[in-house]
A and B are shown apart, each in its own frame.
Chain A
Amino acid sequence: MPVHNLYIFNRYGTLLYYTEWNRLKHSGITLEEEAKLMYGMLFSIKSFVAKISPLDIKKGFLCYKTNKYTLNYFETPTGLKFILNTDVGAQNVRDLLQQMYSQVYIEYVVKNPIINLNEPIKSELFKQKLDTFIKQYPVFNNNLKSL
C-alpha cells in the first residue's frame, strides 16, 4: 500500500505526532532517536536546497524520491512540518498534506483547548479523524497505479 508513515514536527523540532500505516522496514532505533535524525536531515536538506538553488526559491524543499519510496515534505508559515512517506507513484500528495493540515490538524488540534500546541498530541479524536482522512484518499488504496 502506498502510504507508509507520517511525522508531524513543530517549529522547534519536537515530534508532535507519529503514526504508521504500512511500514515494512523499521529503523531499529527508538522513535525518539529516529525523529531526531529525521528532523536533522530535513533541516540540513532545507538549508542545502536554499544555498544551492540557482534561482530564487519560492516553495523550497518539497520532496525526495528513492526507487522505493517518496518523502513528501510540507511546511506551513508557522513552521509546522508534515512528512509523509508514500510509494513513488503516489500523486497529489501535496494537496493531501495541505488538506490534512487544514481539515484535521486545525480542526482537531488547534481548536481543541485541551491540547497544548507544543506537546505531543495524545487526542484519540485526532488520531481517529486522521485515519479516516487518509483512508478516504485515493492514494491510500490505489496501489495498482503505483506498481
Chain B
Amino acid sequence: MGAVEVLLEFMHSELVDYVTESSKKGDLSTLEYAGFISGYRIIERLTKDWPRFKDELETLKFICTDFWTSIYKKQIDNLRTNHQGVYVLQDNAFRFLSRISSGSQYLEMAPKYVSFTCGLLRGALANLGINCLVTAEIQPMPTCKFHIQVQQKTV
C-alpha cells in the first residue's frame, strides 16, 4: 500500500480523534456530518460517466462495487435486502477496523471509526435521490455491517 493510501487512514483517525476530543463523549454527529458532505460531493464525481440508475437496488449495487472500491479498495462482501427499503451491506474486513483488532478487544472504541463511513453512505445516497438512515453494527471486528433504511417518499 502506497503512502497516498495510508494518508486517508491517518487523516481519518486524526479526524476521529479531533472530533471526539473536542465534543462531549459519545457525540459522533459531527463526524457523521463530515462523512455526509464528503459522500455527497464524491458521488458527483464518481458517477459523472454513468447513465442513470434503473432503480434503488441498482444504485445500491453501484455503492457496493464501484463506490466502495474507489474509497476502501475492496468491494462490499455481502448485500442483503428485504425489498422494502432495508439494505444490509457487510464488509468482512472493513479498512478502518482491520488494523485495530480481530475480535472483541477495543470493541468499545469501534463506533468512532465507523460513523464517518455511515455519513459517507448517507451523503452518497442522498445525492442519488435516496433519503435514508444509516447505522452500523460491529461484531466481531473487523466485520462491519451497515444498515440502510430508506425513508418512504412523501407523496
Binding site for B on A (CB under 8 A): 107-108, 111-114, 123-125, 128
B111 within 8 A of A: no
Check A113 against B105 for contact (C-beta < 8 Å).
no
CA distance A87 to B113 in the complex (A): 43
Residue B27 interfacial (CB < 8 Å): no
Interface magnitude class on chain B: 10 to 19
Q: Which residues of B contact A111 (CB under 8 A)?
A: 6, 9, 99
Most chain A beta carbons < 10 A, residue from B6, B9, B103, B106: B106
Report the minimum CB–CB distance from B44 to chain A (whole Å). Answer: 29
Kindly supply a per-residue 1/0 record for chain B positions 84-95, scoring 1 wherever the CB is within 8 Å of any chain A CB and 0 otherwise: 000000000000
Q: State the Cβ distance, A93 to closest chain B Cβ, in Å.
A: 26
- Determine which of A107, A108, A114 lies in contact with B106 in the assembled complex, contact meaning CB atoms within 8 Å: A114
Name B96's closest neighbour in chain A (CB-CB).
Answer: A113
B109 interfacial by beta-carbon distance below 8 Å: yes
Are A128 and B16 interface neighbours, CB within 8 A? no
* Contacting pair A125 B105 (CB below 8 A): yes
Cβ A112 vs Cβ B99 within 8 A: yes
B9: which A residues are within 8 A, CB to CB? 111, 113
